[in-house]
Amino acid sequence: MKFDTPATDNPIDQMKVVGRAHDRIDGPLKTTGTAPYAYEWQNEVPGAAYGYVLGAAIAKGRITAMDLHDAESAPGVLAIVTAANAGKLGKGEMNTAALLGGPQIEHYHQAIAVVVAETFEQARAAASLINVDYQREQGAYSLAEQKPAVTTPPEDTPDKTAGDFDTAFVASPVQHDATYTTPDQSHMAMEPHASLAVWEGDKLILRTSNQMIAWCRSELAKTLNIPEEKVRVLSPYIGGGFGGKLFLRCDAVLAALAARAAHRPVKVMLPRPLIPNNTTHRPATIQHIRIGTDVKGRITAIAHESWSGNLPGGAPELAVQQSELLYAGKNRLIGLRLAQLDLPEGNSMRAPGEAPGLMALEIAIDEVAEKAGVDPVEFRIINDTQVDPLNTERFFSRRQLIECLRTGADKFGWHRRNTTPGQVRDGRWLIGMGVAAGFRNNLLDKSAARVHLDAQGVVTVETDMTDIGTGSYTIIAQTAAEMMGVPMEKVVVRLGDSDFPVSAGSGGQWGANTSTAGVYAACVKLREAVAEKLGFDADNAVFTDELICQGERTAPLAKAAASGTLTAEDTIEFGGLDKTFQQSTFAAHFVEVGVDIATGETRVRRMLAVCAAGRILNPKTARSQVIGAMTMGVGAALTEELNIDKELGYFVNHDLAAYEVPVHADIPEQEVIFLDDTDPVSSPMKAKGVGELGLCGVSAAIANAIYNATGVRVRDYPVTLDKLIEGLPDLE
């Protein structure tokens, strides 16, 4: 199905099932421990051996010698795979560094061996017996130290400009010029990266934890130098990804190599310390923002330049994306700068680009609003734009930022905020309120599904879409139930298998909208097959209550499959509407904090997110995504930072004991409001993504609230107490 004109009325608009709050249909499996994760297929794959990954002990250099003798002689050891005996390996297009290093080492904890043994303990013990000699080379590990030498944009990401920024900024009556930093951050998903590999002859079956089945399959085939049709990937349940499992990682490659070497199934799970250093992380940024306004606070000039680092061949963190589109202003400069660092690979983490970019931009907006003497909410409203500022002929398909801000301000009690910082006390706590705009682009990619109708009237959906804890099983079931006119109990959803049609996958906030649109397209074909089988006109028939109806005539849906299961398959392919319309999602985040006047400890007291993201397919699962994202925003604001050993080039706090993440229990009150909204330009579902929007802007709202509480402006995340304590008001 080609989607190249805005959607009109269709069966989804009935909203008998779609748009309703449904419990997650995979919930009982999760809560009873019977949902099989990648490391837990012992019943289906008995007798699996264990692989333990050895990571490089240097960040840059070469292996000069590797002695395996003691390890090979250790109890239970079946095989040891290194670059020297693995055979020739390729490298996937989405991997910056090789997934099995040696002799060249590109980053700390790059995998250099996997030891296979009968038990996990034996494999781990044997790995400790491998003796490796290195020749260490000097590396670059500090973005701040590399930044002065990086003045031009990467070749594939040129600056975006409009008007004459320099002249307009100098002429602006109100000017703001400041630099902000965000640190390296880790996904820290609850489930580690894990894979279980089995060879059946020359065919590899990989059970893994991966968000993008088709990407994983093609990249794995390329890395192993085998035909793609010889690889099957299964990932029906994933215990969190946040972008860290978008791409092929070493657990999958090493499990496959180990299983081939040991001639039996092998499971590999990365120990927690290897995850930040061996997989990917959100790169640190240094962001220079300049904003000029007229005397009434209208933006006349805006510049946002961001520096980040990565390994050779890596890409920059796209921290300026939102600044292209969020606010008006005729004179603009938007640019990225990329430094070469020898730290582990920087790549996508939940809401890449907008999440760290808004951490800086939305503080700067508050600062310039204060200089202009305009309330922060009103400042954002008067600088709203309904067109792409860099291409004013391109309108937003839907843009409800003003409504988000006004609704949130009213609901949160913004009028009670004291505009003078440091004036509100509750016992020992200084109290403050903060606001920030949320923004995330609506990304689209083709997505396919296959649907079956059997003689019992059961509709089965198959697609390689994944569920990373976001509720994909449920919203896909809701879509099929709505389209075919059956109750949810009559829908079976099968996900995460490369034998199924290729979906857009889970990532970039595109998964819900695109995967359900693919199911929609397949169901349109199945409706046509049912109508043809039973002698109805598909364009005018109504599917409801397990019946197909037209005028006075009805027939049971199941009757169409009485002589055999009906099957239909289709792909939603998006045309050029994104060239005519800018598609984005919007939010307003409001936060109240308390800061201890003696210690500088910050507590988030209450949070509100008002979101405009098209049709909300399931308010219950959507709310769960948003409050989870809000909690992640608290971590980014207050605690999360990968600390770098700048001599040795690795992340020191590489586990959940030292890398602190908040939980819902840390926040007494979280509320989410979804504005009534449908976007017919987005898809037949008229939906857009919301999971990453819930994070975008949250950290800045917290930083702004801390400033309102204390009068201390912190521009370097995380906002820890040591950055506050010297500036706190005197104790009375």
- On average, the pLDDT of the chain sits at 97
CA 288 and chain centroid, separation: 25
* Residue 250 backbone phi and psi in degrees, to 5: -70, -25
Query: Same domain for 587 and 722?
Result: yes
Sequential DSSP letters for 321-385? GGGGTSS--SEEEEEEEEEE--SSPB---SSTTHHHHHHHHHHHHHHHHHHHT--HHHHHHHT--
600 alpha carbon, distance to own chain's centre? 31
Q: Which of 353, 573, 570 is nearest to 444 (CA)?
A: 573
- Is there a domain that residue 679 lies in? yes
Does residue 651 share a domain with residue 700?
yes
Query: What does the pLDDT read at residue 726?
Result: 95
Residues 485 and 566 reside in one and the same domain: yes
pLDDT over 90 at 731, yes or no? no
Q: Is residue 222 part of a domain?
A: no
Are 570 and 488 in a shared domain? yes
Residue 724 is predicted with a pLDDT of 97
Burial (CB < 10 A; 0-12, 13-18, 19+), residue 550, is middle
Look at residue 626 and tell me if it is in a domain: yes
Please tell me whether residues 472 and 527 are part of one structural domain.
Answer: yes
Q: Are 640 and 655 found together in one domain?
A: yes
Query: Given this model, what pLDDT does residue 385 score?
Result: 98
463 shares a domain with 430:
no
Calculate the alpha carbon distances from 51 to 118, 220, 498, 607 in Å.
Answer: 9, 18, 24, 44
In the chain, the amino acid numbered 568 is A
Q: At what angle do helices 698-710 and 619-638 cross, to 10 degrees?
A: 50
Q: What is the pLDDT of residue 420?
A: 98
What CA–CA distance (Å, rounded) separates 158 from 286? 18
> How is residue 546 written in tokens?
């397990």
Q: What single string gives the DSSP state of each residue in 186-234?
A: ----SSPPEEEEEEETTEEEEEE--S-HHHHHHHHHHHHTS-GGGEEEE
Q: Are residues 424 and 456 in the same domain?
A: no
Which residues of 527-662 form beta strands (DSSP E)? 542-544, 547-550, 553-556, 566-574, 581-582, 584-596, 602-612, 644-645, 650-651
- The count of domains in the chain is 2
Res. 732: pLDDT tops 80: no
> What is the per-residue DSSP string for 33-47?
T-S--TT--TTTSTT
- State both tokens at 189: 């998903």
Mean pLDDT of 568-575: 97
Q: Tell which of 540, 575, 610 closes a domain.
A: 575
Are 490 and 549 within one domain? yes
Q: Which of 551, 575, 599 is the last residue of a domain?
A: 575
To 10 degrees, what angle do helices 213-224 and 250-262 make? 50
Question: Do residues 490 and 531 both lie within one domain?
Answer: yes
- The tens digit of pLDDT for each residue in 497-545 reads 999 999 999 999 999 999 999 999 999 999 999 999 999 999 999 999 9
Residues 222-238 have pLDDT tens digits of 999 999 999 999 999 99
Run of H or E residues at 157? none
Q: Residue 361 falls within a domain, yes or no?
A: no
The answer, yes or no, to whether residue 730 has pLDDT greater than 90, is no
**CATH number of the structural domain spanning residue 558:** 3.30.365.10
Tens digits of residue pLDDT in 173-191 = 999 999 999 999 999 999 9
Tokens of 647: 């001599």
Average pLDDT over residues 472-487: 98
pLDDT of amino acid 410: 98
pLDDT tens profile 398-430? 999 999 999 999 999 999 999 999 999 999 999
Which domain, by its residues, includes 524?
A: 2-35+444-575
Q: Report helix, strand or coil for 649.
A: coil
- Considering the domain architecture, whether residues 409 and 466 belong to the same structural domain is answered as no
692 part of the active site: yes
Compute the chain's Rg from CA coordinates.
27
Q: Is residue 567 part of a domain?
A: yes
Only one residue has tokens 């879409």, namely: 465
Q: Is the peptide bond before 75 cis (omega within 30 degrees of 0)?
A: no
Residues 415 and 513 in one domain: no
Catalytic residue among 219, 324, 370, 692: 692
The tens digit of pLDDT for each residue in 80-132 reads: 999 999 999 999 999 999 999 999 999 999 999 999 999 999 999 999 999 99
Among candidate residues 575, 591, 616, the one where a domain is terminated: 575
What is the tens place of the pLDDT at every residue in 634-645?
999 999 999 999
Asked whether residue 615 carries a pLDDT value surpassing 90, the answer given is yes
